[in-house]
């Protein structure tokens, strides 16, 4: 439910509409890069399952040994894309494949784009989701606003033909987008980090 603040709900709805256009534009560019039709993903966005969240991370003092708290479990996002609006307070970290945790330099007003596990399935891991976490600031509040961009629930997520080859067989069975998201939320399907 929306808080009863003057102008809040219309502003949120405008943001959601604009963010969806950004997500669709990114997906169109990815489709072209993958050798698929520019409208490949757009054809599945007629009734998208998008969600917007507002996250507030409180300051947490360091442990006695100086270690900073990690209030979020390292994870990958479930859906196609996540557009993350940030306030410039450091804390977001990513872990590239085979590498160490790395801080994300995202100034206030930046939009961080995360590829989700559903897009990894669709692209046969040509585009892979990156594990990420938040490290708490000892003295600053941190606000982030993720917008999860997902196709219609009825969309059959099947490897894009250009992402499959004799030396790169399909790694994932087809699954309906709604079923996949429900299974991830319920914890019955987990990717390996």
Phi first, then psi: what are they for 10, rounded to 5°?
-60, -35
**2 three-class SS:** coil
Assess whether 14 carries a catalytic annotation: no
Question: What letter would DSSP give residue 122?
Answer: H
Asked if 18 contacts 12 with a C-beta cutoff of 8 angstroms, the reply is: no
Q: Of the listed 13, 128, 133, 142, which one is catalytic?
A: 142
Could you give the angle at the alpha carbon of 40 between the alpha carbons of 23 and 52, nearest 5°?
Answer: 25
CA neighbours closer than 13 Å in the CB half-sphere of residue 83: 22
* Residues in contact with 151: Cβ distance below 8 Å, sequence separation at least 6, in sequence order: 41, 44, 45, 48, 49, 80, 118, 157, 177
* Residues in contact with 164: Cβ distance below 8 Å, sequence separation at least 6, in sequence order: 124, 170
* Residues in contact with 112: Cβ distance below 8 Å, sequence separation at least 6, in sequence order: 83, 84, 86, 92, 104, 106
- Give me the active site residues, please: 142
């Amino acid at each position: 439910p929306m808080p009863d603040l003057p102008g809040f709900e219309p502003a949120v709805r405008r943001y959601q509409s604009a963010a969806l256009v950004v997500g669709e534009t990114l997906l169109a560019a990815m489709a072209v890069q993958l050798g698929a039709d520019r409208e490949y993903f757009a054809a599945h966005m007629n009734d998208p399952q998008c969600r917007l969240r507002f996250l507030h991370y409180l300051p947490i003092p360091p442990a006695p040994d100086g270690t900073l708290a990690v209030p979020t479990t390292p994870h990958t996002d479930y859906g196609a894309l996540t557009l993350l609006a940030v306030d410039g307070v450091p804390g977001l970290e990513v872990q590239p494949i085979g590498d160490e945790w790395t801080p994300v330099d995202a100034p206030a007003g930046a939009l961080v784009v995360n590829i989700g596990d559903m897009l990894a399935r669709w692209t046969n891991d040509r585009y892979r989701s990156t594990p990420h976490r938040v490290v708490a600031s000892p003295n600053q509040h941190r606000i982030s606003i993720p917008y999860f961009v997902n196709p219609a629930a009825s969309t059959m997520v099947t490897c894009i033909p250009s992402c499959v080859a004799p030396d790169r067989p399909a790694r994932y069975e087809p699954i309906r987008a709604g079923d996949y998201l429900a299974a991830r939320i319920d914890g019955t399907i987990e990717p390996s980090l």
